[in-house]
Amino acid sequence: MSAHKLPRLLAALTAGALGASGCGGSTKSPPTRSSSESTTSASVASSTAQPATPSPAATSHTVTATAGGVSATMHGGTHRPRVARPWPIRFAVTSGGHAVQASVEYEYLFAGQVVAHRSHYTFTGHFSDVFMWPSSAVGYPLTFRAVIRSRGSTLNLDYQVQVTR
């Protein structure tokens, strides 16, 4: 990518186009919001971190991580979302098979570097969100990261996307 295109991507992602169209919802409790091609990965940042492992039944649209007794799963709609079309994502966070209180924040990465932070929701057990990708993201290999925090553990669920028209 040329040096003059990166500032345009950064401006587009940080201008609010991604966060403005989110409309999260939870099946357990209302969210609290504050401003702020098949590869998936998960990383864990916690003092009790355990290696993140993909679920054996997971498809390329699912990312799972476990740390400190907390398990988090993200299901994405597709790795090739389309501009201005709904892109659904769902989360489940449990401990010992029971729903637990958690929060999720979104980060957007380009070439391994965080270029934008969006949204902050709290929920218990399950949460879903739908948003639209901006046209300025077309063609860039991006990583959508869901940062899940629960019971003292932080789990990063990384999901590669390339936005198309």
Question: What's the total number of domains in the chain?
Answer: 1
3-state SS, residue 139: coil
* pLDDT tens per residue across all 165 residues of the chain: 544 555 555 555 544 444 444 444 444 444 333 322 333 444 544 434 333 444 443 347 999 999 999 999 999 989 999 999 999 999 999 999 999 999 999 999 999 999 999 999 999 999 999 989 999 999 999 999 999 999 999 999 999 999 999
Q: What's the CATH number where 112 sits?
A: 2.60.40.10
- What are the φ and ψ backbone dihedral angles of 15, each rounded to 5 degrees? -75, -10
Domain of 110, in residue numbers = 5-162
Per-residue CA distances from 151 to 8, 41, 93, 132 (Å): 38, 22, 11, 31
